[in-house]
Amino acid sequence: MSRLVMVSNRVALPGESRAGGLAIALKAAMEESGGLWFGWSGRIAAESGHMHEIDAGNVRYITVDLSEQDRDDYYNGFANRTLWPLLHFRMDLVDYSREMYAGYLRVNALFAERLAPLLDEDDVVWVHDYHLIPLAQLLRERGARCRLGFFLHVPMPSSDLLAALPDHSRLFEGLSAYDLVGFQTERDLERFQDYVRLFGRGRVVEHGVLETAGGRQLHAGAFPISIDTNQISTLAAKAVGKASVKRLAASMSGRSLAIGVDRLDYSKGLPERFRAFERYLQRHPEQRGRLTFLQIAPVSRDTLPEYRTLRRELEQLAGHINGTRADADWTPVRYVNRNYPHASLTGFLRLARVALVTPLRDGMNLVAKEFVAAQDAEDPGVLVLSSFAGAARELTQALLVNPYDLDGVADAIAIAVAMPLEERRERWQAMMRRLRHHDITAWRQHFLATLRAA
Ligand SMILES: O=P(O)(O)OC[C@H]1O[C@H](O[C@H]2O[C@H](CO)[C@@H](O)[C@H](O)[C@H]2O)[C@H](O)[C@@H](O)[C@@H]1O
Ligand SMILES: O=c1ccn([C@@H]2O[C@H](COP(=O)(O)OP(=O)(O)O)[C@@H](O)[C@H]2O)c(=O)[nH]1
């Protein structure tokens, strides 16, 4: 069997636990299959390029340090201030400069330089996410002849938005050096095909087979990422015995819990969610005091101005809602900027009657899937899910909402709180069937089998 080489900006090193779906999903996939995981060490050094090696179980981790300048231009800059907002349909937040783009290409070239000598011809290399779009081309230029696949974890936006990026054709034509390009959903794939046809100087030979300007054929498909369903389910059942979970349960004083769990990111629709919860309290005064909303929001990319502004806005909103709506013995919103490990987080999810997963745009959203897997089959909670999350394509039995429609989200919360047990069970069973079948192992195997056959 050929060796699997995963490449991603963020590598989940042994013992590390930090919010972020890509790292959590790849960790599960990597531990199952073994191989090499290559990426940024997360460390800053005087110069870029120093490598670290760790062997743990069947996985070898090789990571590279970056200089402050490279981190700022590549990760903070072009990846997270240009591509991230663009790919999440937020043109208003896109910040582009040639310097940042040059830094992005420089770090991709450095990764290719360090990785190419480690590759064998029969390796299968799987590159992840928008940080590393040009990597295949740079590896090929350095002699890599193995299979190369790419998976985009974030949405692929409408082609008109992509076309607004300076130098977009150079960037996206780089994808043609891969043998297979994977997206989260069919919609993402369709939008990419539109881009290739309308702006990418290429042609759609047939659905899933593209020809680029240079005449190279490339396969593309939808591969919705998932979770380790059994593991989350088992962990959640065990977690209810943990002290942190028991304390949360005791603190509810018989009230129901609504939960949100998201990195503190503007794509997650948190201000809109807080306002929708406030709207629920206004529109349903009879339910006042019956539901407490716990939002767990570990800080993310917190040196970037957009993220700091969001943090201030949420602090104000939580303060405003609590100041105007709380009672002496009830605080409507609990807002926590901590990162919890899965061992307790899954227990929190299991305690909740309602989960609010209402991103404005999200590639997939693993929290939505984890919430379903964490439920007690006898008394499952209700998922309120944005139709703009990739997960909504699969979890169709959730209460699907438009996160911009505050009244609609408020009504969905009220419906969720009042939903009879029978209906909750039916919806949950259908979603759980899907997740048992389409788990992280199925995702990895499907992508790799398609890549090997491409
Ligand atoms: O590494 P960070 O900059 O701290 O950000 C965390 C990750 O955020 C994004 O996650 C995406 O991948 C998830 C799994 O496929 C998906 O469910 C979610 O919708 C996406 O937002 C980002 O794409 C990753 O590269 C980051 O590591
Ligand atoms: O305190 C926290 C908050 C989140 N997460 C995890 O971070 C991941 C978030 O992935 P998702 O796909 O929902 O969004 P992303 O952050 O990748 O955009 C999920 O596995 C969460 O369980 C976590 O471990 N601890």
- Residue (of 373, 353, 343) closest to 252 by Cα position: 353
Query: 370 in ligand 2 pocket by Cβ < 6 Å?
Result: yes
CA 136 to chain centre: 22
User: Tens digit of pLDDT for each residue in 376-429?
Assistant: 999 999 999 999 999 999 999 999 999 999 999 999 999 999 999 999 999 999
- Kindly report which listed range (12-26, 61-75, 137-151, 242-256) carries the lowest average pLDDT score: 12-26
Q: What percent of the chain has pLDDT over 70?
A: 100
What residue owns the CA closest to ligand 2's atom 6? 19
Per-residue pLDDT, averaged over 294-314, amounts to 97
Mutation test residue for ligand 2: of 345, 348, 370, 440, the one with most atoms within 8 Å of CB: 345
Question: Is 32 in contact with 444 (CB distance < 8 Å)?
Answer: yes
Mutation test residue for ligand 2: of 8, 9, 24, 337, the one with most atoms within 8 Å of CB: 24
**Which domains, and CATH codes, for the chain?**
4-226+440-453 (3.40.50.2000), 229-437 (3.40.50.2000)
Measured between alpha carbons, how far is 70 from 80 in angstroms, rounded to an integer?
A: 13
Measured between alpha carbons, how far is 454 from 440 in angstroms, rounded to an integer?
A: 21
Q: What percent of the chain has pLDDT over 90?
A: 91
Residue 19 has pLDDT above 70, yes or no: no
User: Tens digit of pLDDT for each residue in 91-127?
Assistant: 999 999 999 999 999 999 999 999 999 999 999 999 9
Q: Which helix (H) or strand (E) holds 357?
A: strand 354-357
Measured between alpha carbons, how far is 141 from 176 in angstroms, rounded to an integer?
A: 13
Residue 30 has pLDDT above 80, yes or no: yes
Select which of 362, 411, 438, 439 is catalytic. 362
Mutation test residue for ligand 1: of 153, 184, 266, the one with most atoms within 8 Å of CB: 153
Query: 366 in ligand 2 pocket by Cβ < 6 Å?
Result: yes
End-to-end CA, the chain: 17
Ligand 1 centroid–CA 96 distance in Å is 21
Per-residue pLDDT, averaged over 152-163, amounts to 97
Query: 19 in ligand 2 pocket by Cβ < 6 Å?
Result: yes
User: Tens digit of pLDDT for each residue in 305-328?
Assistant: 999 999 999 999 999 999 999 999
Ligand 1 centroid–CA 20 distance in Å is 5
- Residue (of 339, 111, 107, 344) closest to 239 by Cα position: 344
Measured between alpha carbons, how far is 329 from 343 in angstroms, rounded to an integer?
A: 29
pTM of the model: 0.98
Q: Which ligand is nearest to the CA of 226?
A: 1
User: What tokens appear for 454 in the block?
Assistant: 């491409």
Query: 367 in ligand 2 pocket by Cβ < 6 Å?
Result: yes
Active site residue 362: yes
Q: Which atom of ligand 1 is nearest to the CA of 300?
A: 4
Question: Is 188 in contact with 155 (CB distance < 8 Å)?
Answer: yes
What residue owns the CA closest to ligand 1's atom 8? 20
Query: 261 in ligand 2 pocket by Cβ < 6 Å?
Result: yes
Ligand 2 centroid–CA 297 distance in Å is 9
Cα-Cα-Cα-Cα torsion 131, 84, 383, 443, nearest 10 degrees, comes to -20
For residue 414, count other CB atoms closer than 10 A to its CB. 17
Give the binding-site residues of ligand 1, using a 6 Å CB cut-off: 10, 20-23, 25, 129, 153-154, 225, 300-301, 362-366
User: What tokens appear for 251 in the block?
Assistant: 């603190």
